[in-house]
């Protein structure tokens, strides 16, 4: 099954636009696990089990594993998600971007080593840095377009005077992803919930691409404005929240609290559709 099929099925089955982000930070783990990087798998597996029927996707952020030399725990977590939440696609948040020969290795890492269904990529180095991921037919690739952080302005809002219509850089990325770069229909875009007006602009340029939208929860993005700006009948959105769900409680009830926060966020997103 392709990433898009999985996404559609999970969104329907779990009635959800919510992506649960897996950004495990041991210093924020509950008391019995706190500070112990060997507990990364246990912590994340408990979150997966408590939210598998609430999420339309999971998004592990690779840096939170690699920083602790915990890639083996990420491999185990990927297998755990395959077995315990097989209906929910996994977007590996790796934000890779390198020359083609190196990108081939990164693609192999994401799709063969970890078995991810989709990956996040930086488009900064151009199409040949994206192409190796598209060789994995059916897998998804989300290009950073208008990111949620304040510094996203620095480059993404620059005007490209040499291109007809003088688009902003993020608008040009959206146009490429909706058009010539999307050879096999695998591309999506990352746009931040902290900039709903830009989500709307991206949606007008890329009406059918799936949008991965982080920034609700800990970053304070407006969930309702996000849904209204981004969701279209043939243009799905995947709204990510990580810390607000993972660390909803610092106690032994962390998994139950995460579920509660995931249910609450899912409800807010659903209500915005009305
Ligand atoms: O690609 C991403 O996922 C991403 C893009 C972006 O523009 N902003 C952004 O916050 N992210 C990621 O989304 C997650 C947001 O986490 P919270 O702010 O805790 O919900 C982190 O894993 C970020 O690395």
Domain boundaries of the chain, sorted by first residue: 3-271
pLDDT digits (tens, 9 = 90+) for 116-130: 999 999 999 999 999
Q: Bridge-partner residues for 139, per DSSP?
A: none
pLDDT digits (tens, 9 = 90+) for 195-237: 999 999 999 999 999 999 999 999 999 999 999 999 999 999 9
**pLDDT confidence of residue 153:** 95
Dist. CA 182–CA 9, nearest whole Å? 22
**pLDDT confidence of residue 274:** 75
Residues serving a catalytic function are 95
Query: Homologous superfamily of 3-271 in CATH?
Result: Aldolase class I (3.20.20.70)
State the distance from the centre of ligand 1 to the C-alpha of 215, rounded, in angstroms: 6
State the distance from the centre of ligand 1 to the C-alpha of 214, rounded, in angstroms: 5
Residue 233: CB atoms within 10 A of its CB come to 7
What is residue 251's three-state secondary structure? coil
Question: Which residues of the chain fall short of a pLDDT of 70?
Answer: none
Dist. CA 126–CA 100, nearest whole Å? 10
What the block records as the tokens of 135 is 């060789």
| Nearest Cα residue to atom 9 of ligand 1 | 214
What is residue 59's three-state secondary structure? strand
CA angle, corner 62, sides to 169 and 239, nearest 5?
A: 60
Burial class (CB in 10 A: 0-12, 13-18, 19+), 260: middle
Any residues with Cβ below 6 Å from ligand 1, and which? 21, 23, 61, 93, 95, 120, 147-149, 190, 192, 214-215, 217-219, 240-243
Q: Is this prediction's pTM over 0.90? A: yes
- Which value does ipTM take for this structure? 0.99
**pLDDT confidence of residue 88:** 98
């Amino acid at each position: 099954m392709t990433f898009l099929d999985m996404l559609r099925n999970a969104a329907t089955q779990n009635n959800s636009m919510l992506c649960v982000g897996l950004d495990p930070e041991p210093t924020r783990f509950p008391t019995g696990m706190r500070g112990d990087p060997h507990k990364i798998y246990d912590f994340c597996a408990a979150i997966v089990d408590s939210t598998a029927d609430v999420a339309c996707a999971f998004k592990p952020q690779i840096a939170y594993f690699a920083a602790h030399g915990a890639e083996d725990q990420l491999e185990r977590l990927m297998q755990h998600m395959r077995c315990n939440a097989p209906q929910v696609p996994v977007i590996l948040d790796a934000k890779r971007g390198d020359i083609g020969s190196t990108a081939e290795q990164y693609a192999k890492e994401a799709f063969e080593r970890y078995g991810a269904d989709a990956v996040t990529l930086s488009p900064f180095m151009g199409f040949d840095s994206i192409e190796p991921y598209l060789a994995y037919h059916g897998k998804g690739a989300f290009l950073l377009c208008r990111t949620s952080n304040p510094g996203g302005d620095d480059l993404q809002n620059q005007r490209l005077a040499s291109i007809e219509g003088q688009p902003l850089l993020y608008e040009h990325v959206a146009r490429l992803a909706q058009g010539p770069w999307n050879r096999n229909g695998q591309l999506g875009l990352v746009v931040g919930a902290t900039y709903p007006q830009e989500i709307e602009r991206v949606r007008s340029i890329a009406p059918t691409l799936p949008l991965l939208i982080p920034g609700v929860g800990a970053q304070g993005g407006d969930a309702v404005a996000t849904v209204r700006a981004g969701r279209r009948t043939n243009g799905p959105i995947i709204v990510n929240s990580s810390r607000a769900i993972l660390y909803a409680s610092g106690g032994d009830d962390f998994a139950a609290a995460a579920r509660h926060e995931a249910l609450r966020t899912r409800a807010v997103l659903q209500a915005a559709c009305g």
